[in-house]
Amino acid sequence: MLKGLKLRDLVIVGIILIIALGAAGYFLFVRDDNNSVNNDDDDDPVNKRPTADAGMDLVLTSGAEATLNGSGSFDPDGDELIYSWDLDSGVDSDNDGVLDNDRDIMGKEVTWVYVAREEITYIVTLNVTDTELFDTDTVRVTILPPKDDDPPEISMSCRYQAAIPPYLEAHYIITIDTASRTELISNYTYRLEDGSGDLILNGSVPDLILTPPNATIRFVDAPQLNRMSGNDMFYIKERGEISRDCVFYLFYNNLREPVGEIELTK
Ligand SMILES: [Ca+2]
Ligand SMILES: [Ca+2]
Ligand SMILES: [Ca+2]
Ligand SMILES: [Ca+2]
């Protein structure tokens, strides 16, 4: 009888314990989880992901300036955003094996000149980040081939650099001031003639890029790499028959007329 009572008491205590533990567990874990979410909402807001907007698709003629506008991007928290653009999903500029994550150019609104001989569509990827979270968006930039009846016009200026022995030979510096259209430098050839129109030097412009410092003529490809653009420069040493009154011509593709010319002047 006594033994039976004890057993019954133990069962009751056991049941009470199980209920108590279950309730404690509920309050400890389930309720606490809810509370922590509520607390975050009230006191310590969770950072929210920004939304990238790479702007409208573009269709442009080769050599025209493409404006990439990411100003439609936003961050729900109002965080300042960092904008980086991958200009070409076919090229892995940073060599990390991912084609569309390159930081080719930074800024909310940027410009770039695409050149192409045939119609091509580039996929441009905008990445925006609040430095913790990021989002990406893409825009298509379609480049149409240039019209052949519309050659670029190149304007140049020339200045003279006297020799500074033994460091510097005298040379002429020809600067591209403007190009009416941006084209790959591989479309250009040059020709240097003396005052009577006789040929001194000629060749293709890309061949002048990696020439040694003592070469008679060199080309320095300033901003807009591989494209004939403002601030690109030719360095021509004053040696032999190369002196003032020589004329430097730029030719475009197979056109017979030069697209730019400048007399070497002191
Ligand atoms: Ca944010
Ligand atoms: Ca890329
Ligand atoms: Ca990459
Ligand atoms: Ca250039």
- Contact criterion met (CB below 8 Å) for 67 and 124: no
**For residue range 67-83, what is the model confidence (pLDDT) as tens digits?**
999 999 999 999 999 99
CA 114 to ligand 2 centroid distance, Å: 14
Ligand at minimal distance from the CA of 179 is 4
3-state SS, 167-232, equals CECCEEEEEEEEECCCEEHHHEEEEEECCCCCEEEEEEHHHHCCCCCCCCEEEECCCCCCEECCCC
- Beta strand 188-193 with 199-204 is antiparallel
Ligand number nearest to the C-alpha of 183:
4
8 Å CB contact between 188 and 203 = no
Q: Which helix (H) or strand (E) is 126 found in, with range?
A: strand 120-129
C-alpha of residue 257 to centroid of ligand 3, in Å: 42
* Ligand that comes closest to the CA of residue 128: 1
Residue 142 CA to ligand 4 center (angstroms) comes to 22
Domains, the chain, ordered by start: 58-144 (2.60.40.10), 154-263 (2.60.40)
Band of the pLDDT at 161, cuts 50, 70, 90? Answer: very high
CA of 87 to the centre of ligand 3 (A): 11
Average pLDDT, the chain: 87
**89 C-alpha vs ligand 3 centroid, how far in Å?**
9
Asked if pLDDT for residue 147 goes beyond 90, the answer is no
Ligand number nearest CA of 73 is 1
Nearest to residue 85, comparing CAs of 113, 109, 116?
Answer: 109
Residues in the chain: 266
Q: Cα(97) to centroid of ligand 2, in Å?
A: 10
Q: What is the pLDDT of residue 39?
A: 44
What is the side-by-side strand order in the sheet with 171-179? 154-161, 171-179, 233-237, 217-220
pTM value surpassing 0.85: no
- Closest ligand to 186 CA? 4
> Is residue 108 helix, strand or coil?
coil
- How confident is the model over 24-33, as pLDDT tens digits? 544 444 444 4
Centre of ligand 3 to C-alpha 223, Å, is 22
Residue 6 has a pLDDT of: 64
Residue 170 has pLDDT above 70, yes or no: yes
Position 185 scores a pLDDT of 94
